[in-house]
Amino acid sequence: MYTDPRKKAITVQLSWIYILIAGAMILIFFSRVIVYVQGYGEKTITDNIRDQLNDAFVKIRADRLFFQQLQTPKDFKLERCDFGKMYYKIGRSSLKTQGIYSPSYLKPSQEQLLLWTLPWEMPYWIDNMLYLTSPEVLYVFIEDQWGYVKELLEDPTYGLPANISRVVISHEDFSRFVSTKQKNVFKEIIQKIDSFYKVKFVMVDAATDFGEGQDLQLTFPEEVMRKTDTAINILPDEGYGGLDGAGEIQFFDVVGAEFTPGKTRPYLGRSLVFAAIFAQDAQQYECNLQYFMQRFKDVNQFTQKRAEMLYESYPPEHECHYYIEKFIESQLLQKQCIEIQDAIDNLSNADTFKELYEMSRQIEDENYNLVRYRYCAGIY
Amino acid sequence: MRTNKKAQIRLAENIMVIIIFVFILVFGIAFFTVYQKQTSGTKHKEREEKAASSVLAKIMALPELKCLSSTGQEEVNCFDLYKVKVLNAENHTQPEFIDHFYDIMLESKVSLETLKSEIDEIFTIYENEPVVKHDTLTKKMPVFLYDPINEQKYYAILKLDYYYVR
């Protein structure tokens, strides 16, 4: 038997090629399995974190006033806000939630984020507003001559919780900075700044307070501005209830080392003042406001129906039947509902919000009279 | 002749190896599939249990149901009778009504039954049953029902029938 040695050599070479191909395929297969298992494991972990956070949001929404430290090892990124629906990305998982004000990027500190809630009442309870932030976000409050900042920080019930990182610049120090441009006022912030990844400035009517009614051009030191991407200027109107009433919020964008005035949006109640403090920007504030205003309208219509139900439930000879009839005839709730719709249609109109505040006060007074002096059931 | 027999034995051997290999492979896949199905079934059930609890917690926190004291403080596990009556009187099949509460109550039936009191009634708060074949998880929670006219509290059971597709 004669075999061609060249043919044998080719056969041997071919079998090596087969072995190589098979080896490569096996390698690819196992590496894909490893990548899949790793990804699946990571997704399971982030899914668990997401579920725990979702539970926490649900539980905290059930309490009208609550502060909680959330355990989470992962960063949050706000992807988008759509009519109050917030879509966060946590690792490989997505979290959809509602009506939360937060910076667009949330980095936990020692695996913790901070969650706080306040009720929104006008005057009936509409919903709870949720505020989510990181201990590594620094809120810098510039004190004002009227004492609004003190009220925001020191109110025992509705004041900013102590665990939220803040620095307060006194009115005197800031006035000195405005006139002399000396950096000393920022010394404390500059010393601390490395422990924070974001700084937000909160001022109250700064133009009137420090610019003597003129537009205030603010340029802060570069060390501070490199971590600042937004600031707000609260414009309360004492004639309309101050922080608890209606006013406006001026949002600033940061361009280079300077603040440039952006959108101005109205607020209604202290919960919305805090919403502006915690929101990333005017867009997020407005997006959630759309949702909350719709809730306001829904709860208003519901309260109207409840008032009618109460009226029908009192016997006609009962004096409360008469008083509630009087309230219904005043059409306060209906008028408020029309005004809410106007506000929904034009969210930047501060006058509508002031009108809404006035109406809320009237409804509150009527309700108070019914309960306290007429011994009837309240409208809400 | 001898070489032919050897080749036949080798062929039979190879066939046996292939058969055993295929058998192990099929058995492995079948085992893995059954295990995965069971695990995902259990996980799915757990997830739905959690979702049902979450719905119940959201209902308990709903301003359209909760009762507040005259000082505006919320009362724990307490529903206002007239708020419940308003929801009971609503047309539950109306898409507008379902839309209003869908994010909170999803596909479920929520009802409230009073216990041994003058108000002997079952109130339906929300009803949205899916058209497709589904399973039901039932959760119950004792609550107070507050009548602001008589200033009386009654015991009641909040019942949630949570529908989910298997």
pLDDT, tens digit, for every residue of A310-360?
Answer: 999 999 999 999 999 999 999 999 999 999 999 999 999 999 999 999 999
Among A residues 96-135, those touching chain B with beta carbons less than 8 Å apart? 98, 121, 124-128
Task: State which H helix or E strand residue A215 sits in.
Answer: none
Q: Per residue of chain A (380 residues), what is the pLDDT tens digit? A: 555 666 666 666 667 787 888 889 888 988 888 888 888 877 787 888 888 888 888 777 777 668 889 888 889 899 999 988 899 998 888 888 888 999 999 999 999 999 999 999 999 999 999 999 999 999 999 999 999 999 999 999 899 999 999 999 999 999 888 888 888 888 888 888 999 999 999 999 988 878 755 566 777 888 888 899 889 999 999 999 999 999 999 999 888 778 888 899 999 999 999 999 999 999 999 999 999 999 999 999 999 999 999 999 999 999 999 999 999 999 999 999 999 999 999 999 999 999 999 999 999 999 999 998 999 999 99
Question: What pTM did the predictor assign?
Answer: 0.85
Q: What is the pLDDT of residues B2-56, one digit of tens each?
A: 567 888 888 888 899 889 989 998 998 898 889 888 888 888 888 899 889 989 9
A220 vs A211: CA distance, rounded Å: 15
**Chain A neighbors of B106, CB-CB under 8 A:** none
Amino acid at A166: R
CA A99 and chain centroid, separation: 7
**Residue of chain A whose alpha carbon sits nearest to that of B151:** A377
In chain B, the residue whose alpha carbon lies closest to the alpha carbon of A321 is B149
3-class SS of residue A170: coil
Chain A and chain B share a number of CB contacts under 8 A equal to 59
DSSP string, A305-363: HHHHHHHHHS-TTSHHHHHHHHHHHHTHHHHHHHHHHHHHH-TT-HHHHHHHHHHHHHH
Domain ranges (residues) in chain A:
45-280, 289-373
> d(Cα B107, Cα A129) in Å, to the nearest integer?
25
> Which residue, among A55, A120, A302, A319, would best test binding to B if mutated, counting the most B CBs under 10 Å from its CB?
A302
Is A159 in contact with A149 (CB distance < 8 Å)?
Answer: no
Alpha carbon of A87: minimum distance to chain B alpha carbons (Å): 15
